Amino acid sequence: MIPLTEPPLKAAYICAYLQSPAGRQQILRLHRGSSRQIEIYPDDLLTLEIPSLDTAQEREIGARWLSAVRSVRDARSAVRDAELMIQEVLGVSEADLEGEPTVWSQGVRLVGTSNRLDPQFTAPRTRRLRDAISTQRFWRLSDLVAKVRTGYQPPYYDEGGDVRIVKTKDVMFPRVSLAGCARTDDQGWTDALAPGDLLLNMTGEGTLGRAGVAPADVADEATFAAIDVAAATLHPGMLPTTYVALFMNSWMGREQTLAAQTGSSGQQHIYETHFRSILVPVASTPAGSVDRDWLDAIVRLAERRASAATTAAATFEALDQVFIQGLGVVPDLSTIPA
């Protein structure tokens, strides 16, 4: 952290510039390191040159940047509120599972039914979570999915290609990010992504199980999932895709994903067959049907996050153009990681 002597709006203006293509390109040229470990030192940061604009314009940029950042921060709390609504139905929180014993036993009948004997799958905290979900109305993820297809591995990538490839880094919640997608030429693939598809990362430390929903503009041009991303179309009328994505991203979903994973040498994987072991709960009405009002309330909270993220992205893109026009120089974006 570098303390600034400037007022908040000036500091926000500096942040907006450093995150613009021009600022990021300047920072990248200062990095040091070897063995794939890249570092930037405080002394190097102090050499950065910040363009000086008209005071009123700097304040306006700072105010717009702060507003976008605050809206995203506030929207994160909305997603947390949605998770709390699910926890309330289950009657269990993540903190409740922290005290579970580290030594446990598993009945032979249960082992035979699940066909899994690895410690993650049979861990007490995972079993207790599944027990809590099983007392409520729930679906297995495999029951919700009408069709699932794994992605493709392009023979090469080309920035000028006419096909977009959604990689694990692009699978964000609640909307998949298309802005930084890799591209390739048309390979004659079928089953392009459609708006509303559930995308799920099937591999990777820290990314395993992360889910997002394909946005409406995914249909503007041919877009396909990468080989380590699964694209699922859910049965209509059962559960909203946004709700399923939110649950998969919650600690309750990730706990089950990690328990179901297989792999070695530190490379984690889940496969379509593992969808059967992932339980997705919902609240019920007194009559025993799905509480649609509860579901709608959670989806609204998730959509609030989506709206904030979309607005913030548009704001940051507009500010990027302000810096490009103000400097009169178009940065070489090929030097900037997506």
Structure-token pair, residue 95: 């903190």
Q: Which residues of 197-218 are buried (b: 16+ CB within 10 A; e: fewer)?
A: bbbbbbbbeebbbbbbbbbeeb
CA 308 to chain centre: 14
Contact call for residues 21 and 336 (beta carbons, < 8 A): yes
**Along the 338 residues of the chain, how does pLDDT read in single tens digits?**
555 666 778 888 888 888 888 888 777 777 776 656 667 777 777 788 888 888 888 888 888 888 888 887 777 778 888 999 999 999 988 888 776 555 555 554 554 445 555 656 667 788 889 999 999 999 999 999 999 988 999 999 998 899 999 999 999 887 888 888 999 999 999 889 999 999 999 988 778 889 999 999 898 999 999 999 999 999 999 999 999 999 999 999 999 998 888 876 567 888 888 899 899 999 999 998 999 999 999 998 888 877 777 777 788 888 888 887 777 766 665 655 55
Amino acid at 137: R
The structure's pTM equals: 0.76
d(C-alpha 212, C-alpha 280), whole Å: 16
Q: What pLDDT does 166 receive?
A: 94
Q: What pLDDT does 307 receive?
A: 75
3-state secondary structure 90-152: HCCCCHHHCCCCCCCCCCHHHHHHHCCCCCCCCCHHHHHHHHHHHCCEEEEHHHHEEEEEECE
d(C-alpha 302, C-alpha 317), whole Å: 23
Element of type H or E holding 213: strand 211-213
Element of type H or E holding 7: none
